[in-house]
Structure 1
Amino acid sequence: MQKISPCLWFEADNAQEAVDFYLTVFNNARIVETMRHTEASPGPAGSVLAVLFELDGEEFMAINGGSQFKFTPAISLFVNCESQDEIDRYWDKLLDGGQALACGWVTDRFGVTWQIAPSRLRSMLQDPDPAKANRTMQAMMGMIKLDIAALERAYHGA
């Protein structure tokens, strides 16, 4: 069990649906355990209270919390991708029923925001040559879904 795990607050009854969806998005994903309401809890006894799950070895909690809190892009989940195929796969799956934002950000149909980005982007943006970093940033700022080849061209000044 990891020391700190994000807890995602979903509408009153769609935490299980969200987790089931995420299990189709990530190849290395599993449900660790499902907690159910008891007679003493606020939901119907036996219904899903929370689901502990893993995505690529990272632990998350999904809770059926109610409608008083909503997700915002102020908190997002960052997915490092090694190839354009990987970016495309995550992007397309998470966008199904969701909304494309900018700079590699997509909000899924449950309201959770994800950043789908190439692993190399961080080093390009932190390059000691400010011209390379600036060209990369400018290219990224003009994109919705990130395009590795276009980012590389900008980085190299091509």
Structure 2
Amino acid sequence: MEKITTCLWFKSEAEEAAGFYTSVFDDSEVRHVARQGNGEVLTVDFTLGGRSILALNGSRGAEFSEAFSLVVHCESQDELNRYWDALVADGGQESMCGWLKDRFGLSWQIVPTVLGSLIGGPDPEGAQRAVQAMLGMRKLDIATLQKAYDGGEN
């Protein structure tokens, strides 16, 4: 068992959310659903990308905020697009700079692994151009960010 586990508090959607998240990400599975005496779901223990998560139904809904988000590092634009599209589907909301909220209100950052080397690269002018390009995006576009860093039009 991991020493630290993330707990996500839902009003009553813990099982639905865990099922959704495990369908989107590889190396994910629902491990255990704990039910109360009346059959209602209390907690769902699942893995997400190999990390332990506990989803809790807390009756009164606790609102998620951008103060807590899950970051997904993507190697390619296809991978980034796949996660972005799945997480904003069915009521999710796009935000700026690679951020979104899924249909449960949980915030995600869907970012290319190359982002750090573009916005924090050795060329300060290129990094600034990449940051400016990123600030104009919702879903991040790797080719556009790279082109901005390299000095092309964004």
Q: Please give the TM-score of this superposition, normalised by the length of structure 2.
A: 0.93
Q: Distance in 1 between matches of 2:6 and 2:92?
A: 21
Q: How does 1:45-84 map to 2 (within 5 A)?
A: 45-84=38-77
**1:43-73 Cα shifts (integer Å, max 9, x gaps):** xx33211111111111111000123420111
The equivalent residue for 1:14 is 13
Decide which of 116, 125, 149 is 2:143's aligned counterpart.
Answer: 149
- In structure 1, how many angstroms separate the alpha carbons of the residues matched to 2:57 and 2:124? 46
Aligned length, in residue pairs: 151
Runs of 4+ with >2 A deviation:
none
Gaps of 5+ in 2: none
* 8 A Cα contact 2:9 2:61, kept in partner: no
108-117 or 26-35: bigger deviation: 26-35
Identity %: 50
TM-score normalized with structure 1 length = 0.90
Amino acid paired to 1:34? V
| 1:59-88 deviation line (CA, Å, top 9, x unaligned) | 111000123420111211000000000011
Structure 1 unmatched runs, 5+: 39-44
Report whether the alignment pairs 1:115 with 2:114. no
CA RMSD after TM alignment: 1.2
